[in-house]
Structure 1
Amino acid sequence: MSEDTRAIDVWTLPEQGVAELASRMGGTALLSSTERERHDRLRRPASRRRFLGGRLLSRLALSIRAELPPDTWQFALTRTGRPEPRPDHGLRFNLSHTDGLIVCVVTQGRACGVDVERVPFDPDKTRFVSAYFDTADRSGPYRSAVSDLDPTNRWVLTEAYLKGLGVGLADGPAGVHFRRTGAGRFSVTDHRRPATAAGWQLQLLRPYPNHLIAVATEGGGTLRHRSPAWGRQTTPPMPHLPRKEDLPCPSTPR
């Protein structure tokens, strides 16, 4: 597998950057009619902002990776509600957002999942997460010893892994455990899907003080942390969609 094929592009967009990205990429005009309807049904401005930011960031990330214009991308929802590109041009992606940050991961030919959470958790969420895992660990056919992993880390790792599989938290964390293999790196044991889990690797990132990101990829790879970088060149507004050379260039923070 080539270096570029193994690359895991992790794009981050602070929520305050959504307006700038929208102004350069055409805003809601770039979305499909179905996406615009979903956007307009959202009642809270923050929810609409994150929805739009996620759809635009995913198109930017896919376009940079595939060297195709942003209007190339149309999406179909899986049975679990996950958007997948159609046609996919050999790429997979996943989105996550929380208060203050939007994240998109892109891989080539391999499944992937991502979760981002604002940290530290507030007391209510801390209690919920602890109770959630306690129930999973002590009941059912996959009963096991309580994990020694920090509940916050375990939560984002579990979300990213299950999203990568395309099942989500509704499938539950029972039988899913993580083992640290290096700095911020983890393997996974999944008693429901042992053969599948053996091929997955996970990484934790803390690119910003108040946000924790987990990235899960089939086969692992090398992370490339990227974000939209605004230069002097302006992306043409709709309906004149930007060419690849007009897109905001990705930057790789050091």
Structure 2
Amino acid sequence: MDNVRELPASGSTRLWLVTTAPGSAPPGDGVGVLDAEEARRAAAFRFERHRVRYIAAHLALRGILGERLGRAPSDVRFTRLACPGCGGPHGRPALADTPGPHFSLSHSGDLALVALAPAPVGADVEELPSAEVAEELTAVLHPRERAELAALAGPEERRLAVARAWVRKEAYLKGLGTGLSRGTDRDYVGALADSPGAPDGWSLRDVPMPEGYTAAVALGPGT
């Protein structure tokens, strides 16, 4: 997969950066490889560029997992674990017929991030938000994170810090299996550079990204 590049490992977590821009991924619409749910989601996109990015990200995930498991990408089977918040069948995605590895996929803009780990893992990559969006996100962060942001000198520094806090938070909530339904003001992950917070039993690390993006990975108990 020419559009997939393995990044330096983050502890026991292996990471891959995927370029999903139209023309960067191998041609094809995923027919015969993606399952019915992935195909349904792909068909639901209004804009073709979003559909192409989604397909490229999911084909990359299947390729990475298939290589790890010794099977064809089309033979990788997924399920959803129970949500730890409500017990519903919409928690973390998992492999349906094998106990591991744990994995996480995130995509934004022309990039996707894949993480594989021996314990629950969450990954998040995002395009940097506009100043206006950063202000909106600030209002729903943890009180300690809002205090850190208020102490920063300029709007650009605050914008970058909001983006940093947001991907850390999303990575953790994805790894936890609740997603944003848990509430983004409940858990402290930190907004300052090189100092992510870590909810009990979890570790959080920032992942270097190309200009215009930010990313983080969260690893849960079990390693």
1:97 to 100, 104, 107: 107
**What is the alpha-carbon distance in structure 1 between the residues aligned to residue 25 and residue 108 of structure 2?**
18
**What is the alpha-carbon distance in structure 1 between the residues aligned to residue 97 and residue 22 of structure 2?**
28
Identify the structure with bigger relative contact order (alpha carbons < 8 Å, sequence gap 6+): 1
Q: What is the 5 A alignment of 1:54-69?
A: 54-69=57-72
- Conserved? CA contact 1:15–1:100, under 8 Å: yes
**What is the alpha-carbon distance in structure 1 between the residues aligned to residue 219 and residue 114 of structure 2?**
13
- Conserved? CA contact 1:21–1:56, under 8 Å: no
Identity rate, percent? 26
Aligned residues: 196
SS at 2:42 equivalent: helix
Q: Which residue of 2 aligns with 1:141?
A: none
Residue 69 of structure 2 aligns with an amino acid whose one-letter code is A
**What is the alpha-carbon distance in structure 2 between the residues aligned to residue 60 and residue 45 of structure 1?**
22
Distance 1:219 1:187, change over 3 A: farther
Residue 115 of structure 2 aligns with an amino acid whose one-letter code is V
1:166 to 171, 177, 180: 177
More strand by share: 1
- Conserved? CA contact 1:22–1:56, under 8 Å: no
Shift of 1:219: 4.4
Distance 1:112 1:19, change over 3 A: same
**What is the alpha-carbon distance in structure 1 between the residues aligned to residue 33 and residue 94 of structure 2?**
17
TM-score by length of 1: 0.67
Larger Rg: 1
TM-score by length of 2: 0.76
- Conserved? CA contact 2:124–2:216, under 8 Å: yes
Residue 165 of structure 2 aligns with an amino acid whose one-letter code is R
**What is the alpha-carbon distance in structure 2 between the residues aligned to residue 88 and residue 35 of structure 1?**
20
Shift of 1:83: 2.8
Shift of 1:8: 1.1
Shift of 1:16: 2.5
Q: List alignment gaps of at least 5 residues for structure 2.
A: 1-8, 82-88, 150-160
**What is the alpha-carbon distance in structure 1 between the residues aligned to residue 195 and residue 52 of structure 2?**
32
1:31 to 31, 34, 41: 34
Question: 2:214 matched to 1:212?
Answer: yes
Shift of 1:22: 4.6
